[in-house]
Amino acid sequence: MIIDVHNHVIPERVIELLRTEPRYGVNLDGYTWTGGNIFNFEVVPGFRSVEGKLAEMAARGIDKAVVSAAPKPLYYYEADIELASAICRETNLGLAEFSAAAPEQLKWMAHLPVQDPTVAVAVLEEALAAGCVGIELGTSVGMGGPRLDEPQFADLWAAIDAARIPVLMHAAYEPADREYATDIVWGLLYEATVASSRLITSGLFDRYSNLTVIVALGGGYFPYQHGRLRHNTSWHPALKGAPADPWSYVGRLKFDTHTHDARALRYLIDVAGAENVFVGSDCSFNTATPDPVAELRDATKDDAASFELISDRNARLLFGF
């Protein structure tokens, strides 16, 4: 069984909201998207319909998925809270409808208007009542905005901790310009790395003992350069009080397979342990792994136990399949 925990949706009800509310800054010519926080792209059936999503999953060898909001198009963390909360609530209703239409194959993560933690907690409570099994969060609140480990978000983290459900941390508002696609190719990974580091060095994991975070995009650069952070905790004034061994938090910090390279994925599995890695495809974007199952098989050659953990058991245990 292959279970994908990094799989995105833009429900039709959200598309209708964007068509009718010009303040979101999006133009949809049919299903061709222009404007908003992302480059122009096609909202393919895998984003917007249950049938399209299931067909896309089948084509990639994916049996089950935990679907979440398409991050860059739908985050709107920089928007007025009225607009942000409206799109989050419509997204959550759409995600719940996806799951209800194929309950054996789909579960969903809540989308929250994190720029206002009080409203975010209220939306989270609604989503929990509607059956969400996780939460998708960005790595910052708007371009250059606050980081989610900062004190003003304490009530939101407390609510997540109390709910005992996992977080998928997905980069957004990445640095770097769009020339030569440096924002997508490198900026998103930088954001994933900064977020991973800050969750640990800020003491967030120590304050919230039930917290589990899956960092998308293979954890960015963190799994490959965590030794640099470990070394600098020994002398840098800004890291005074940070854990001496940041890597010791792996287990509560986990990663997906979305690396686009079997050798990199093999290293990630080796250093993090197969029990801390989950299949992540990034569907339905063009950036999605074309064949996530083949890549995982290549990375776990002659290791059936690791393949089984990553492809099935880890997600089954964490998300309740």
CA-nearest of 5, 1, 2, 13 to 167 is 5
Largest CA distance in the chain: 56
Dihedral angle sign, alpha carbons of residues 85, 91, 97, 102: negative
- pLDDT at residue 162 in the model: 98
- pLDDT at residue 14 in the model: 97
Kindly state the average pLDDT of the residues 258-271. 98
Long-range contacts of 295-298 (CB under 8 A, 24+ apart): 295/257, 295/259, 295/260, 295/262, 295/265, 296/257, 296/265, 298/262, 298/265, 298/266
Question: Mean of the per-residue pLDDT values for the chain?
Answer: 96
Query: Is the pTM here over 0.75, yes or no?
Result: yes
What domain count does the chain have?
Answer: 1
- Tokens describing residue 225: 């350069």
CB-based contacts of 31, cutoff 8 Å, min separation 6: 15, 42, 43, 44, 48
Contact call for residues 96 and 102 (beta carbons, < 8 A)? no
Q: State yes or no: pLDDT of 36 exceeds 90.
A: no
CA-nearest of 31, 36, 5 to 16 is 31
> DSSP 3-state assignment of 289?
coil
Kindly state the average pLDDT of the residues 237-244. 94
Kindly state the average pLDDT of the residues 270-298. 97
CA-nearest of 55, 162, 175, 172 to 111 is 172
Q: State yes or no: pLDDT of 176 exceeds 90.
A: no
- pLDDT at residue 178 in the model: 78
Contact call for residues 195 and 215 (beta carbons, < 8 A)? yes
- Tokens describing residue 248: 């010791």
> DSSP 3-state assignment of 186?
helix
**Which domain covers residue 106, as residue numbers?**
3-319
- pLDDT at residue 142 in the model: 84
Q: State yes or no: pLDDT of 293 exceeds 90.
A: yes
Residue 300 sits in a domain whose CATH number is: 3.20.20.140
CA-nearest of 252, 248, 259, 243 to 296 is 259
Dihedral angle sign, alpha carbons of residues 303, 312, 163, 158: positive
